[in-house]
Amino acid sequence: MNASPNVDYSEPVDLFSQQTRNRRRSAWLVVGFVLFFAWLGFGGDYIAYLYTQGGEPEQYQHVIPWFGVLLTLIGTGIAIHAWRSGPSDVLKSAGAREIIDPQNDVEQQYVNVVHEMAIASGLPNPRIWIVDDPDPNAFATGSDERNAHIAVTEGLLLTVDRSELQAVVAHELGHVKNLDVRLMTLLAALVGTIVLVSDGLWRVLFRSGVGGERRGGKKGGNPVALVLLVVWLLSWILAPIIVRFLALSVSRQREYLADAMSAQFTRNPLALASALEKIEHAAEPTKQIKRGTAHLCIADPLGRRVNMSDGWFAQRLGTHPPMAMRVARLKAMGYRSLKATG
């Protein structure tokens, strides 16, 4: 069966190209994150130096870039923590519980399905989790194939049948095999950090009255310092927005590829199409999965309208392709397969 849909991808979508691209993007994401913190630190030091250099000799002169050194070290530490602990942080934020000893038939079937799909995909068995939420959804996280986690909601286990569950798990294992989980988990961890740090610094800035009189009692001052201050402050304003857009931009096309890989692993694209339709028709958004990890899920857990359409605007603001388009492509694959075998 030809498991790849007729999609005109703007980039190559074979497995090895996808893995190489995700490794490269993950590395650049960490480097960019550290450099961003370095700019905020050393940029702030330089601005403070320009604002204090005209003061009297006995007044404070900001000549030691302690803020830059401190923020660069903090950024490096956060990036290392996100690389090592991002998956556990994602699972903790969703309130997931690990299934080691299944307690009922539903959990046992889930464990069996994960092991079956791991064999079909040629991957080691991932760790298995359940999120106690009635809305059907699923996600994968981890740093690589050996450190992968599959999580589904309780609602999914009660909504889909066995073949549909296989298809959903196979979709998530497709993300693992592509190394999507590494890049998207890093994004989830770093997006949350940037938002928290930005909010915290803005509180400090407003309390300290940045932008008022400089030391020495003179208003105005060096125009270069003023421009740098504006750019520096804009960096803090725009940083959470930029990293959120980055998270959105990396997830949409990956869903199509993971759908195709699910069809390849299960040889049953119609099962995933049926599961996605059931997920789409669920009554409420997934409450346990937070905004910062929404791009990890098989379906938008927040139920946003932007993910229901296609086009330039939706491609830049939506975390997922339109469900109707995904289902249509899977059904087309299934019908072609039935026609070929019939």
Q: Which residues are catalytic?
A: 172
**Distance (Å, rounded) from C-alpha 191 to C-alpha 211?**
27
**Distance (Å, rounded) from C-alpha 43 to C-alpha 217?**
23
Any bridge partners for residue 97, and if so which?
Answer: 130
Length of the chain, please? 342
Instruction: Count CB-CB contacts under 10 A for residue 61.
Output: 15
Q: Are the CB atoms for 53 and 216 separated by under 8 Å?
A: no
3-state secondary structure string across 232-297: HHHHHHHHHHHHHHHHHHCCHHHHHHHHHHHHHHHCCHHHHHHHHHHHHCCCCCCCCCCHHHHHHE
Instruction: Count CB-CB contacts under 10 A for residue 223.
Output: 8
3-state secondary structure of 222: coil
C-alpha 141: how far from its chain's center? 9
**Distance (Å, rounded) from C-alpha 107 to C-alpha 8?**
39
